[in-house]
Amino acid sequence: MVTSLDDTIAAIATPIGEGGIGIVRLSGPDAGPILRQVFAPARATAPLEPRRLVYGHVVDPVTGERIDEVLAVFMPAPHTYTRQDVAEIQSHGGIVPLQRILALVLREGARLAEPGEFTLRAFLNGRLTLDQAEAVLDIVQARTAAALRVAVDQLGGRLTGPVRQVRTNLIEALAYLTAAIDFPEDEIPPHDLAAALRDARQHITALLATADQGRVYRQGVRTAIVGRPNVGKSSLLNALLRESRAIVTPVPGTTRDTLEEVLNLHGVPFVLVDTAGITQSDDMVEQLGVERSRRAIAQADLVLLVVDGSEPLDDRDQAIAGLVGGRTALLVVNKSDLPAVADLTALTQDENITQTAAALSAAPWGAAAVGRLGEPQSASMSYLRGRETVRLSALTGDGLDALEAAMVEAVLGGQVLASDAALVTNPRHQEALSRAAASLASAERALSEGLPLDCISIDVSDAVAALGEITGETVTEDLLDSIFSRFCLGK
């Protein structure tokens, strides 16, 4: 990625397509001059006053052709998103006018921006910390109001504050260690190193404790709806979404591919994956659908194992439960509007080892495929013991509220999103915090064992560096490329 701050970049900042308004954004030292070259105010005497929208037209300075009727604004540094001069042209939101305007400003001297380069410049110029820059992308990609709130809080520095405070305290401890190492005979002001290390590690551990909850709000909960054919998986998807999204027929095998939709439950985005019924088939298309269903189980954060409560369970139900393995799962007993026939004992109580082995071997994919997806529970254990069983009717909606409550409970464990607490939502931040915590634990062991201060200093330095990776004090170009390449053009 180009990281020069000396040139002027430009990009379309709104989604490509038809819309009421589209925006071309420029940032850099020539943003103002380029804007004045291509923009003609409706009143020839109207100046481009800073931060004031001016009505006019984009005009090709070479041919005099009017490209579009627009509003334009110039925002001088440093009080801008990038802390550079910024110009924006608000045109009609069609593909052609936006492309023509962009081509015009590029011809006049701007360079096409790389993905995320506007936010990268905001970071490089000190407008945002690195974790705040990442929160910008989280805001754009937020799927629920709660996820948006978490991202906005992070943009406002909710995570930056505690991470920087811990890092500052560790830098003070590191300064003490450096002085004690370099000047062992001098009188150095006392410093409770053990307390400092312990306090820093405890703060980091508290932040790490929020990571699972944070990931739920940021990434959503990938939820696979699985079961044998015709137990009502697609009907359940439609019932949860409150709309007819999946095709439902009495014919088994209607769903032949995975279908994904997002459901918002109490601010938690659940990515529902409706899967093909897992069964043996000679149909090549159906076989591919079944294989994708197995893959969906392997990738799921939560599994809804659907069985037909109006029919006896068979070996397929047991085998599919085996595929679920040790994953977080709910047993959904569908068709509660019909007489209950299914005996759930085979899925919720201890299994005879011979019966379980027979059920798994009877599955068309065999025991080897079960192992590939993650080992099922031991044959002497129940498949779903301790996991909640929810009875419902996808047809009538009876019991649907209980399932939704169980889904939220399964992923949040009753935790409520705190309005004033820092939340670790990014796997990169979690990994850096984990490294910092491990380094501090090592430093504490070295201190308690009376090892040389040099050993302790190395561990503390590692912790300081890891925390700096979160906020951007210690960062590599490769890391910046990895983060900002995920941004869209114009952001």
Q: Give tens-digit pLDDT for 288-325.
A: 555 666 787 888 889 999 999 999 988 778 878 877 87
Which helix H or strand E contains 147, and what residues bound it? helix 145-155
Closest Cα to residue 206, out of 159, 152, 157?
A: 159
Sheet holding 22-27, edge to edge: 39-41, 54-59, 66-75, 86-91, 22-27, 9-12, 111-112
pLDDT class of 486 with cuts at 50, 70, 90: confident
Handedness of CA 344, 359, 224, 394 (dihedral sign): negative
Which range is least confidently modeled, 40-44, 62-66, 129-133, 316-320?
A: 316-320
What is the per-residue pLDDT for 361? 41
Distance CA 168, CA 463 (A): 11
The two domains 9-129 and 216-412 share their CATH topology (first three levels equal): no
Q: Helix (H, G, I), strand (E, B), or coil: what is residue 110?
A: coil
Specify the CATH number for 152-210+422-471; select among 2.40.128.20, 3.30.930.10, 1.10.1240.10, 1.20.120.430.
1.20.120.430
Are the C-beta atoms of 466 and 458 separated by less than 8 Å?
no
pLDDT class of 11 with cuts at 50, 70, 90: very high
Are the C-beta atoms of 91 and 24 separated by less than 8 Å?
yes
Length of the chain in terms of residues written: 491
Q: Compute φ and ψ for 136, nearest 5 degrees.
A: -60, -45
Residue 267's CB: how many other CB atoms inside 10 A?
19
Assign residue 420 a region: left if phi > 0, alpha if psi is -120 to 50, beta otherwise?
Answer: alpha
What is the per-residue pLDDT for 411? 84
Q: Helix (H, G, I), strand (E, B), or coil: what is residue 286?
A: helix
Indicate the pTM of the whole model: 0.79
What is the per-residue pLDDT for 457? 94
pLDDT, averaged across the chain: 83
pLDDT class of 132 with cuts at 50, 70, 90: very high
On the question of a cis peptide bond just before residue 78, with omega within 30 degrees of 0, the verdict is yes
Distance CA 491, CA 487 (A): 7
Highest mean pLDDT among 41-45, 130-134, 191-195, 219-223: 130-134
What is the per-residue pLDDT for 373? 31
Can you identify the CATH homologous superfamily of domain 9-129?
A: Probable tRNA modification gtpase trme; domain 1 (3.30.1360.120)
| C-alpha R_g of the chain | 29
Are the C-beta atoms of 70 and 56 separated by less than 8 Å?
yes
Are the C-beta atoms of 300 and 273 separated by less than 8 Å?
yes
Domain 216-412 has CATH 3.40.720.10: no
Q: Which amino acid is at 65?
A: E
Residue 276 per-residue DSSP state:
-
Domain ranges of the chain: 9-129, 152-210+422-471, 216-412
Which residues 6+ apart lie within 8 Å of 195 measured at CB? none
